[in-house]
Amino acid sequence: MEKVKLNIDWFLFFSVSLLLILSVLAVYSSSTFYAEYKFGEYDIFFWNHLRNVALSFTLMIIFSFFDYKKWIKISTILLLASLLLLIIVLLFGTTIKGAARWINLGFLNFQPSELARFALVLYISRILSEREQLKDEPIFILLPALFWVALFCFFIAIQPNFSTSVIIFVISIVLLFIGKIKFKYLLRTSLIFLFLGSIFAVTESYRINRIIGFFSFLNNYEAKSNLTYQTSQALIAIGNGGIFGLGIGKTQQSKLFLPESYGDYIFSIIAEEYGFIGAVFVILLLLVVLIRIYKIAKKSPTSFAFFFSTGIFISIATFTIVNSFVNIGFLPSTGLPMPFISYGGSALIINCISIGLLQNIYRNIITRKYE
């Protein structure tokens, strides 16, 4: 039978590519004013981002040729490497805004927590797919998984990066849930984490203040404290966009009104410039990406491929929801990026590599069909 030359999920490919293009435009719009103000170079963020996008896009293509099964073998190495990097970042990391989250690689401020998330998904997928060897005893899967989750969450939390720690925990639990781990175990684990997390939250005043500030904001939208400032400004950006938006490049909120307008709040700037139509378009593109990943998961040739695809699905979906909830004022500022859109290389590179791997799985599905 004649072989299909290029076995690519074109829907997935084009959705991601379109998101990357939109990301470049949005980062340009939202960062130039700040960049000019802060560094005197209006395009400094733009070129940085464009380079990261190009790199990510290339890696996405390269990794689609990289047999996903090989990842099973290096999952432990990646896990250990992540742990090492998490420790290094605590000792020697670049501190930005009071948190040591980055390792300066010269061309990139690398965020080990992103690698850790990827490694964890890889590892949990592996042990879930190896459950026969583990005699199907959930405790043999749960305990090692939880060991690593707890370890990573702890190291990330003390950076401090509480929200990333929480989101990695959530992604892991949902993945374990799909891996048929008994619900009661997951519930108990979550309660323990919740308890530990609460203790952690109240030890730092900024965290608890942010949460209290946010809930008082929900009750009274007119409240204007520094804690709710970002949320108010995001809502003004979104609301001012209206249905059709102010037009490309017409953002006003990025002129220092809305902090992190190219990062956490880039979605608000998209909503400001492209309106309801543009914002929904971005949401739909991300939905297309997620549904394609879901389809790949469903047709996965191996159990590992299924769990891995599912893990990526959960990651991207959770990040999207959390970030858009921050933008629309349903959650306080977290520092978590919008997948494929926000400025910041680490998440972008990891997400694109993930998509590359999923394309490889897709290739396996297609080839199997013709075998």
Partner 1 sequence: MGTNDSNRVIDERSLNRLKLVLFAFLLLFCVVVARLAYIQIFNSAKYKKLAELQHIRKVELKAKRGEIYDRNGVLLASTLNSRSFAIDPLIVRKNNESLERFLSFTKILGLEKQIFSEVLSSNKRFLWVKRGLIDYPRELDTFSFPGLISLTQPKRFYLYGNSVSNLIGLTNLDNVGVAGIEYSLDSILKGIDGFSYFLKDALGRLVPDIELPSVPPIDGRSIRLTIDINLQRLVSYFLTKGVQETAAKGGCIIALNPKTGEILALANFPNFDPANTSQLSNETLNNYAVNFAFEPGSTLKPLIAAIGLERNIISEAQLFDGYNGKFTFGDVVIVDEHPFSKLTLKDALVFSSNIAFAQIAGLIPTEILEQSLKKLGFGSKTGIHLPGELKGYITREDSLTLVQRMFIGYGYGIYTTPLQVAMAYCAIANSGLLPKAKILLDEVETSLIDTIFKKETTDILKNYLIDVVNIGTATGTKVEGISIAGKTGTSQKFEQGKYSKTLYTNTFVGFLPAENPKFLMLILLDEPKSSIYASSTVVPLFRSIVLAMTNSKLSSYIYD
Residues that bind partner 1 (CB under 8 A): 33, 37, 132, 174, 177-180, 235-243, 252-253, 255-257, 271, 275-276, 279-280, 283, 287, 290, 294, 297-303, 306, 310, 313-314, 317, 320-321, 324-325, 328, 330, 365, 368
Report the nearest approach of partner 1 to the CB of residue 267 (Å): 9
Report the nearest approach of partner 1 to the CB of residue 134 (Å): 13
Report the nearest approach of partner 1 to the CB of residue 298 (Å): 7
Greatest Cα-to-Cα distance within the chain, rounded to the nearest angstrom: 68
Report the nearest approach of partner 1 to the CB of residue 345 (Å): 26
Report the nearest approach of partner 1 to the CB of residue 33 (Å): 7
In this complex, which beta carbon is closest to partner 1, that of residue 86 or of residue 186? 186
Q: How far apart are the first and last CA of the chain?
A: 8
In this complex, which beta carbon is closest to partner 1, that of residue 86 or of residue 296? 296
Q: Which helix (H) or strand (E) holds 239?
A: helix 226-241
In this complex, which beta carbon is closest to partner 1, that of residue 174 or of residue 352? 174
Report the nearest approach of partner 1 to the CB of residue 39 (Å): 16
In this complex, which beta carbon is closest to partner 1, that of residue 94 or of residue 190? 190
318: Cβ contacts below 8 Å, ≥ 6 apart: 167, 170, 171, 174
8 A C-beta contact, residue 29 and residue 249: yes
> What are 165's two structure tokens?
């720690």
8 A C-beta contact, residue 267 and residue 235: no
In this complex, which beta carbon is closest to partner 1, that of residue 25 or of residue 365? 365
Mapped onto helix, strand or coil, the DSSP state of residue 181 is coil
In this complex, which beta carbon is closest to partner 1, that of residue 275 or of residue 345? 275
- Between CA 4 and CA 72 the distance in angstroms is 26
Report the nearest approach of partner 1 to the CB of residue 55 (Å): 29
Amino acid at the residue 52: N
CB burial string 168-200: b at 16+ within 10 A, e below: bbbbbbbbbebbebeeebbeebeeebeeebeeb
Q: What's the Cα-to-Cα distance from 310 to each of 202, 215, 228, 271, 358, rounded to whole Å?
A: 33, 33, 35, 29, 10
> What are 324's two structure tokens?
């858009």
In this complex, which beta carbon is closest to partner 1, that of residue 59 or of residue 234? 234
